[in-house]
Amino acid sequence: MKASRYLRAFQAASIVIAMTGPITAARADIKDYEFQLVDQTIQAGRDKIIAVKLMNTKTGKPVQDAVIFAIRLDMAPDGMQEMVTKIALMPGGEPGTYRFKATFGMAGRWQLSLGAKVQGETGTVESKLVITAQK
């Protein structure tokens, strides 16, 4: 066998390995997680508490210790995406439940956009939830 033959055989083997890839075990996907509102409605006004649960939709169990890094609350559902309100993550609460304090300056529909990392999962959970603020 000449050197070029060895090289060709090696290249062919490399291609097979690249196509097969490492075998990954079946596990949860980041798409299996979602935020859910505890209450769909809230009283309009200052310093209201919103509670959301982060659920693993495959197991039906709440997920604790997620790192929430993106939060936005605006009135996009009522065509006022520029109407953004301050929102802050509150410490404590039940495991798997995350609480935020926000001021709802106007009655109507508000969109809560959340981005989070789940322990042991790659990717980002992104949810958009609509809360109705009532007078």
For the bound state, the minimum distance from the C-beta of residue 95 to Cu ion, rounded and expressed in Å, comes to 34
**Contact with Cu ion (CB under 5 A): which of 28, 51, 106, 129?**
106
How many residues interact with Cu ion (rule CB under 5 A)? Answer: 4
If we measure between CA atoms, which residue out of 30, 42, 20, 13 comes closest to residue 106? Answer: 42
d(CA 43, CA 6): 74
Residue number with CB closer to Cu ion (68 or 80): 80
Is 44 one of the binding residues for Cu ion (CB under 5 A)?
Answer: no
Q: Which helix (H) or strand (E) holds 42?
A: strand 41-43
* Matching residue, tokens 């090289």: 7
Stretch that binds Cu ion, among 51-59, 63-71, 80-88, 119-127 (CB under 5 A): 80-88
Q: Supply 89's token pair.
A: 């993550």
- Binding site residues, Cu ion, CB under 5 A: 75, 80, 83, 106
